[in-house]
Amino acid sequence: MSVGSITVFGITAVVHALLIAGVVVTIATFKAAQYRPNSLVQLARRLSSTNKNPWKILVAEEGLEPPTRGL
């Protein structure tokens, strides 16, 4: 086995692991939002130190309407 093929295997193994981890995190996020819809909003509020309402950024930049349920 050459060193090049071992290197390619290592790189592809890392990329596949990151891809699988991304899928797992995405599914976990959607499941958490399905069972506790307000938990992600509360987390965003706690992480936001400058804004009291994190939806102000989305309304100003994207033109989106803030959610009315749970706020």
User: Is residue 41 pLDDT above 70, yes or no?
Assistant: yes
User: Is residue 45 pLDDT above 90, yes or no?
Assistant: no
Domain residue limits, the chain:
1-35, 37-71
Residue 60: CB atoms within 10 Å: 9
User: Is residue 61 pLDDT above 60, yes or no?
Assistant: no
The pLDDT tens digits of the residues spanning 5-27 come to 899 999 999 999 999 999 999 99
Q: How far is CA 13 from CA 19, 22, 66, in A?
A: 10, 14, 41
